[in-house]
Amino acid sequence: MYIAPEVRQALLENRPVVALETTIISHGMPYPESVQTALEVERIIRENGAVPATIGIIDGEPIIGLTPAQLDAFGTRRGIWKVSRRDLPIVMAKREWGATTVAATMILAAQAGIRFFVTGGIGGVQRGWESTLDISADLEELARTSVCVICAGAKYILDIPATMEVLETKGVPVLGIGTDEMPGFFVQTTGSKVDARCDTPEELAQIVYTKWQNGLDGGILAVDPVPAEHALDRKIADKAIATALKEMEEEGIRGKDETPFLLKRIVELTGGESLKANIALIENNAADGARIAAAYAKLANRQ
Ligand code: PSU
Ligand code: MN
């Protein structure tokens, strides 16, 4: 593992650091918006008092804190693996390039000593899980790895009530950032309640700190709805999603290819509106994540 000097220094001095993933760059958004957004998100994290550390695997080596040139390569290079927990040893041993999902980014962040991680949305329980058992590895990782993930919820095309049940079973607190409801990625609400609402970064950081301070290992999910002015119109979203799901079925797309396929088709079918929502929500999450990490550092450094 290679940790960029700026990130290493911040960790040594117990200053706030926020991890970022690369799957969203390589498989979640079109180029060049993918890389432009990645750079903007890093800027917002700095502006709000933390050091950004985008994580990816280059020639088999996990890199904690990619340079702008490396970020660009994650947007343009072909054949980059989408890496979740099970893929990590394969990509590392084969010395391949890997874009890390929420699960893999959590693992590498925790190994580097980073406790906060900002992304767009997490994977969850897919509809039809009763027959396919398609449940994102992101949920299992939240159960076992002590990182707080700040995002805009999970796509509401997933089975959200089932996703919330899995999070409950696995003991993952779901904290609403200024909201009582689980947001649905590019829409603001899903009808499922969060476990607690937090109206300030300090309030949220206090719960995170209390969990880990008391031996309750494992992840925490902090969710903030997409800003209202960028939320997708539900009717337009529903129509695009129905079409994309039908095409996915017809083309026989399965497993790890599902989420990238759906995200790409929904961008096309909404005439780019879902991409605008995706960019707005991750930028919003970046500000939250940096502030929460900074509030946590204050608590942790008191001792
Ligand atoms: N959901 C989104 N955008 C994304 C992803 C999920 O709205 O970019 C990415 C994340 O990297 C997440 C992964 O960890 O997809 C989940 O993939 P799967 O559903 O195959 O577990
Ligand atoms: Mn899946």
* The predicted structure's pLDDT at residue 156: 83
User: Which residue has the CA at smallest separation from atom 3 of ligand 1?
Assistant: 121
15 residue type, one letter: R
Domain residue limits at 227: 2-302
Spans in the chain with pLDDT lower than 50: none
Q: How far is CA 174 from CA 141, 153, 180, 191, 223, in A?
A: 14, 10, 10, 14, 7
Atom from ligand 1 closest to the CA of residue 186: 7
Active-site annotation holds for 21 = yes
Ligand 2 centroid from CA 129, angstroms: 10
Out of 82, 155, 256, 276, the active site residue is: 155
**What letters, b where the CB count within 10 A reaches 16 and e where it falls short, cover 157-191?**
bbbbebbbebbeeeebbbbbbebebbbbbbbbbbe
Ligand 2 centroid from CA 135, angstroms: 6
Q: Which listed ligand is nearest to 134 at the C-alpha?
A: 2
Q: Which listed ligand is nearest to 84 at the C-alpha?
A: 1
Distance of alpha carbon 210 from alpha carbon 138, whole angstroms: 23
Greatest alpha-carbon pair distance for the chain in Å reads 58
Ligand 2 centroid from CA 83, angstroms: 12
* The predicted structure's pLDDT at residue 128: 87
Atom from ligand 1 closest to the CA of residue 152: 7
Number of domains into which the chain is organized = 1
Tokens at 9, concatenated: 């220094």
What SS3 state is found at 9? helix
Angle between helices 273-301 and 234-250 (to 10 degrees): 100
Atom from ligand 1 closest to the CA of residue 28: 8
Ligand 2 centroid from CA 253, angstroms: 11
* The predicted structure's pLDDT at residue 146: 98
Q: Which listed ligand is nearest to 85 at the C-alpha?
A: 1
* The predicted structure's pLDDT at residue 155: 87
Residue 282: which of 45, 101, 55, 14 has the closest Cα? 45
User: Which residue has the CA at smallest separation from atom 21 of ligand 1?
Assistant: 136
Count the alpha carbons within 13 Å of 197 in the hemisphere toward its beta carbon: 10
User: Which residue has the CA at smallest separation from atom 20 of ligand 1?
Assistant: 256
* The predicted structure's pLDDT at residue 255: 87
* The predicted structure's pLDDT at residue 303: 65
State the pTM of this model: 0.96
Atom from ligand 1 closest to the CA of residue 260: 15
Ligand 2 centroid from CA 255, angstroms: 5
- Domain containing residue 120: CATH number: 3.40.1790.10
Using a 6 Å cutoff on CB, does residue 21 contact ligand 1? yes
What SS3 state is found at 82? strand
* The predicted structure's pLDDT at residue 53: 98
Using a 6 Å cutoff on CB, does residue 259 contact ligand 1? yes
DSSP classification of residue 154 = B
**What letters, b where the CB count within 10 A reaches 16 and e where it falls short, cover 227-246?**
eeebbbeeeebeebbeebbe
Tokens at 228, concatenated: 């209202």
